[in-house]
Structures are given as structure tokens and as C-alpha cells.
Amino acid sequence: MGKFLSKIFGSKEIRILMLGLDASGKTTILYKLKSGQTVTTIPTVGFNVETVTYKNVRFSVWDVGGQDKIRPLWRHYYTGTQGLIFVVDSTDRDRIDEARHELHKIVNDREMRDVIILVFANKQDLKDAMKPAEIQDKLGLTMTKQRNWYVQPACALTGDGLHEGLTWLMSYHKS
């Protein structure tokens, strides 16, 4: 019956690329969204891809490893991307400039110029976490005025903020 109704009313699909520095929480977020479970992860070498359904929208989420040796390969995943989820470890003040540099390389690429940008300010449950406004400033997002972007505070372990981020992506995705 569900497949029948989705054929009649249609269900939207959005291709999402999830990037960020290593150990920012990308894979934990992916599987929290997919199954609602907190999973034990190892550093991603290559990628994970899962379909996450939320409010009758299917998100095809590509989670690509964030180690510095893998980052040059990110551009091979840009084609067809409609939304970028960039995950930041909100406690990692030592690498926020590195995250800024990588984010700007991504969003300035020709293939990514029309992509909406959701930043998950992850690990908000930890006491030294930077608040979304500070992350927005340190990532230089205010300089990307012609783009739709949003910083969502999140905690991959509890799931806090994750569905709010998907809701934002749905509302700014061009049908």
C-alpha cells in the first residue's frame, strides 16, 4: 500500500553528500538517522551510502571518509549532489580553520555552486563545544551570502538536532 501511495503522490528524493574532517561524527550521524541506533564506528576509508526516509522524503546520503589523504577524492562525489551536510566537531578548536579551508574548497567548486549547505555543529553535548554562532563565524559562512546555508547544533550520539537538519534541507531543496 505504501509503494502504491508513493507512486500516486510521489516521494521526493534528495542526493546528499556528507563531508567533514576525520572524527567529526559523519558515520555516527548517518547510522543514527538510518536506524536510530548509536553504532561503533571505525575511520571510514572510502564511503558509506544509505537511504534515509524522513517525512516521505528519501535522502540518499553519501558519507565519505574525512582523513586528509582521502579529501582530494571528495570531488569525485560532487556530480548530482543536491545538498551538502558538512559535519564539524564543535569541540575541535585546533582544526576549525582546517575545516573552514576544506568547506570553502568544496562550496567554491563549479559542480557544487547550486548546492544547499547544512552544517551539523556536532558534539554539542560536550561542555567545551563551540556554539553555532561561533562555528558560523569561524567557518566564514557569512561571506557566502548567495548560498542557502544553515548551522544546526547536533549530537550524533543522542540524535539531538539531526531531524531538524533534515527538515531544513527539505524546506530549502529546489523541487
| Neighbour-count burial of 102, counting CB atoms closer than 10 A to its CB (0-12 exposed, 13-18 middle, 19+ buried) | buried
Per the structure block, which three cell numbers stand in for 75? 570531488
53 annotated as belonging to a binding site for a ligand = no
Which residues, in sequence order, are CB contacts of 60 under 8 Å at separation 6+?
Answer: 13, 14, 15, 16, 49, 51
β-bridge pairing 47-54 and 57-64: antiparallel
In whole angstroms, what is the distance from residue 43 CA to residue 47 CA? 10
109 annotated as belonging to a binding site for a ligand = no
Report the first-to-last Cα separation within the chain, whole angstroms: 25
65 annotated as belonging to a binding site for a ligand = no
Is the sign of the CA dihedral 156, 161, 164, 169 positive or negative?
negative
60 annotated as belonging to a binding site for a ligand = no
Residue in 156, 151, 146, 149 with CA at minimum distance from that of residue 135: 151
91 annotated as belonging to a binding site for a ligand = no
162 annotated as belonging to a binding site for a ligand = no
Catalytic residue among 37, 67, 136, 146: 67
21 annotated as belonging to a binding site for a ligand = yes
Is 67 noted as a catalytic residue in this protein?
Answer: yes
94 annotated as belonging to a binding site for a ligand = no
25 annotated as belonging to a binding site for a ligand = yes
44 annotated as belonging to a binding site for a ligand = yes
Numbered residues of the known binding site? 20-27, 44, 66, 122-125
Instruction: Give me the active site residues, please.
Output: 67
Binding residues for Mg(2+): 27, 44
Residue ranges at the known binding site for GTP: 20-27, 66, 122-125
